[in-house]
Structure 1
Amino acid sequence: MKRILFLVMIFAVAVSCKEKDNTDSDKSNIQASANASVDCDNHPLIIQMRDQNQDEIVAWIKLNGKQICDGENGELIECIEPLHKIDSKAKFDSLANLHPDNATGIKFYTKTWQDVENFISDIQCYDEYVGFTFENNNLGFKKVQLFTTDETCYSKPFLSSIGKKLALSHRDQFCFTRTTEDGIDKFIFEVKRYLPNNTFQSFYYDFSRNPPFTSIYKK
């Protein structure tokens, strides 16, 4: 549990991704490189933090996040994306079906990767989180100052890690839907990465239950 908690914190402060070329070969090469390059379990920074408690880790990230986002430890962004990944459509659908609005079919509220990237562009590391507004069946983004489990909060590093790992282009989509946990509405999402033949690949993600990095570290 400690290991997961810490890695989640490290991913949340990672650098935002650069726009990638929208070809199958480029995306495959980028993914293969990302999957092979970082040993998340044995990274020196993660080992260094293993004896600290959650409050200490959160405080450290707040003060030192820039060295994760912009410094030599920026490669740790590759460790956050798998922590929130849902490994099957069936599991994703079962979470979505917990919300009464999805009782007769899952309702999605779609944003492009460009929408997401534009919104997070002026967020610095862990200084703010991405939250949601939902009025009249319209989904919007808002900035949340402090991490909370009372609503869905995503960090810029987590969203950026998806963009980097999947080599997303501006037209690729984040399809949000609602779920519920302990009586609280939450959002989960499907990422649709479009291919040159206009078909797409789907990837599924859930919400954070811990502050940034703490999930990886505390596993």
Structure 2
Amino acid sequence: MLAKVNENRVEKNGQTLYPRMHGDQGWYDYQPEPMTAGELEIYYWSMKPADLERLPMEGWVAFLEGENADYPLEALQKDMESVRARIAGMRLDTTSADTRLSDDMNGLNPAAVDSLIQLMLGGLPTRHSGHLLHCRFRYFDPGGQRAGMPEDVAALVERLSHDEATLTLINTNQVSSRTVVVQGGAYAEHQIRSVACQSNVVSVNHTFFTLHLKPGCGGKLTIKMDRYANRPTLTFPWDR
């Protein structure tokens, strides 16, 4: 689709321009850069090499391809810097509630979750557009009977392909064990076929699996899956 849009490029004053809009009079709003909106989403959904080739090999994408090992640390450091800067901005703000619009403070919202969605869930940040969460994994705390990671458990999605993902899970608590439920997709739309750790392979054939982590322990899991194979649901794993 994007290739078809960019095929309508024009040459003007020795410069190649690409359209952004289409109306009754045809293409317009030409810009120097090719149309790229939605490229990441297209690749994420298709996982086709041809769609990957359209993306700049940087940031999260480069990390998933094994070319940017420092990205997780750099991304989290950047997020923490943003949190500190926005909190400082909130404290320095001198306006009163009756003199500002309800959305005036959006620029000072300290919440920073994009990197966590990418790195922990292997997913696309939803940001402010309100679309559904597309991710490889979602976590549940069976002890607390709630969605989300159990306390002290860390996760990192390191690789993604059309039928596989590499996920590292660590219990950072040095005294107590932790149990985490790992679900395929935000809404159990992915069917998990098997989980491998080193030479041990366990057949799952379900929308989720339960992992018990001893104190200070963890490991790298290779998870085989069929993406978008199931009817989505918001029901928690233990209620299905």
* TM-score over 0.5 for the pair: no
TM class, shorter-chain normalised?
A: under 0.3
Higher Cα Rg, which structure: 2
Higher helix share: 1
| TM-score normalised according to structure 2 size | 0.22
